[in-house]
Amino acid sequence: MSQYTAPLRDMQFVLHELLCVEPVLKAMPSYSDIDVSTMNQVMEEAGKFCSEVIFPLNQTGDREGCVHQAKSEVITPKGFKEAYRQYIEAGWPALSCDPKYGGQGLPLSLNNVLQELLNSSNQAWAMYPSLSHGAYQCLHTYGTPEQQAAYLPKLVTGEWTGTMCLTESHCGTDLGLLRSKAVPNEDGSYAITGNKIFISSGEHDLAENIVHLVLARLPDAPAGTKGISLFVVPKFLPQGSGVGARNPAWCTAIEHKMGIHGNATCSMSFDGAQGWLVGEAHRGLHVMFVMMNAARLGVGMQGLGLTEVAYQNSLAYARTRLQMRSLTGAKSPEQNADPIIVHPDVRRMLLTQKAWVEGGRAFSYWLALQIDIEHAHPDARAREEAADMVALMTPIAKAFLTDNAFASTNEALQVLGGHGYISEYGMEQYVRDARINLIYEGTNTIQALDLLGRKILGDMGAKLKKFGKLIKDFVEEEGINQDMQAFIDPLADLGDKVQKLTMELGMKAMTNRDEVGAAATHYMRVIGHLVFAYFWARMARIACQYPKDPFYQAKLATAHFYFAKLLPETAYQIRAARAGSASLMKLPSSLF
C-alpha cells in the first residue's frame, strides 16, 4: 500500500533557484552545453523509471530476499534482474561517466539526483549499481591504462558491477588488522587469499561479471594501515570484449539481516584469486578512499531517499486517517472525526520529516555541485576551495543525513500508529532499511571523529572557517532585512557558538585525546545543524519573495518550524560536548 512520486518541483527548486547550477556548470568546459531543460528532462525520466519500475519491487523484494545456492550463486528477488536490464538499456549507469569509456559526461550533481530517486524507490535494489559507480571512480583515478581499458567500459554500461571488499570478521573499522594476503605471480598479477564479510552486492545474478576491489597485504608489507594494498579481482577474468575463466572468488554465505533484504550482503572467500595492483603498493587505503568517499555520500543519499518516501506516505495517511476532533473544534464537521493532520503533535512529526528532507536535499545537492567544481572547474583556486568543502562536508553528509533519516522514518511509522508497525503499509521496512545507514561505510561515530579530529582540529579549523565565511557573508547581506531576522539571528548566533566550542575542544584535546572522542558525536550534530541552518535561511530568503505562492508559503513555514523546533537541539548538544570525558571514562570497566 506504499506509494512514491518523484518530488520534481522541490528538486528543481534546489537546483535552479537555490544553487543556480546552470551558470556554475557552464563555466566548466566539460559541461558547457548543459541547460535547465536537459536537467529537467533527465530528472523526469529518472523519476518515471524509479517510481514505475523499481519502486513496485521494494516490498516484494523485502519479503523474498536473496537466496544463496550451491556453487556460490545468489538469486535476487523476482523482478530485480529484469529491472536491472531496463536500467542499463536506458543508459542510467553511464549518466555522469567519462565519454572516453562510453559515458554520457553529465555532471555528478545530476547523477546525485538520480541517486536520491533510486534510494527513495528501492534502497536494496539501488545498492547494486551504486557501488559500481564507486568502483568506476576508483579505477578511473588510479587504474593503469590496461585496467581502465579492461574494466571501465563495462562498468560504465552496467554490464559489469563492482564491489569494495574491506571488512574481515576479526576487524571492522580497524583495517590495519586485516589479514588477506597478496602473493606476486610471475606474470605481474597477484594471488589474493583471504576472507571478507559484509560485502554488499558481492554475488548476484544481475550482471555477467562482478569487479571486486580488494584490500590485502603484500608479503613485505609493514604492519598497520601503511601496509595495505588495493587489488582489482574480477569474478570472471576479462577476455576480449567479454569474460573468460572463473576466478576463485566465492560467496560462501549471505547475511540474514534486519533490513535491505533485497541486497545480497555476502561473505566472500578469495582462494588464490588472480588480481592486479591498483595504484602504489602499500597505498591501498589511500586509493580506496576515492571509492569510500563516494560511498559515504551515497549512503547519505540513501538516508535522504528514505526520508522522502517515508514522509510522502505518512503525509498521505495523516490526510485521510480520521481520529478524534481537533482541540480547537471540529475541522471536518461533515465527518465523524477529523483527519489526524489537524493535531499538533502529528504536525510536529510531519514537519520534522519535511524539514530534514528538504534541508538534506539542499545540502547534498550543493555538496555534489562542489564535487563537480573540484573535478572540472578551469580555475585552480575554485577547485581547491571546492575540494576543501568536499573533505569537510563528506562525513556530515553521511552521518547527519542518516541520523535524521532514522529519526524521520521512526516519526513516519508513529504517524501511522498500529498500521505503521505492520508490514502491509511498508513503513516498518523503511525503519529497518534506514538503520543500516548509520553503521556501514564507517559508523556515524567514526564520521564524527573524522570531522572533529581530522577535518577540523587537524588543520586548526581552516576548512571550517571557509564555510564560516559563507555564513558570515550571508548574514551581512541579509542583516537588515526584517523578513529574515527569524533566520539570520539564530544562524549568526550558532556560528559564534561553534567557533567558541571548536576552540575549547581544541585546547582540551591538546592534553587529553579522549576529549575528542567524548565530544565528537555531539559536535557532529551541532555542525550538521549549522549547515542546515545556513541552507534553510537561504531557502527562506527565496521563499520570502513569493508570499502568495503555495509552494513558497510551505517552504517558508517549514523554515520557521526548523528554526523554532529543531535548531534548539544545538543547546543540548553544545552543553553535552563541553561536559568532557570524565563522566564517561572514570568508571572502571569491571563496574559496568
Residues tagged active-site? 441
Task: Decide if 304 contacts 405 (C-beta within 8 A).
Answer: yes
How far apart, in Å, are the Cα atoms of 289 and each of 279, 395, 448? 12, 13, 17
Q: From its phi and psi, is residue 69 left (phi > 0), alpha (psi between -120 and 50) or beta?
A: beta
> In this structure, what DSSP letter does residue 453 have?
I
Residues 399/448, Cβ–Cβ less than 8 Å: yes
Which three three-digit cell numbers place residue 58?
Answer: 521494494
Q: Classify residue 34 as left (phi > 0), alpha (psi -120 to 50) or beta.
A: beta
> Do the Cβ atoms of 212 and 202 come closer than 8 Å?
yes
The C-alpha atoms of residue 408 and residue 400 are separated, in whole angstroms, by: 12
CB of 251 closer than 8 Å to CB of 203 = yes
Q: Which residues of 355-386 are buried (b: 16+ CB within 10 A; e: fewer)?
A: bbbbbbbbbbbbbbbbbbbbbbbeeeebbebb
Angle CA 568–573–579, to nearest 5: 140
Angle subtended at Cα 185 by Cα 181 and Cα 186, rounded to the nearest 5 degrees:
160
Closest CA to 126 of 49, 198, 197: 49
Q: Give the list of residues 6+ apart from residue 260 with CB closer than 8 angstroms, or none.
A: 123, 124, 127, 432, 433, 436
Position 454, amino acid? R
For the CA atoms of the chain, what is the radius of gyration? 24
Rounded to an integer, what distance in angstroms lies between the CA atom of residue 365 and that of residue 363? 6
For residue 451, give the nearest of 492, 505, 495, 408 by alpha carbon: 505
211 three-class SS: strand
Rounded Cα distance, 463 and 150, in Å: 38
Angle, CA 329 vertex, CA 324 and CA 332 arms, to 5° = 65
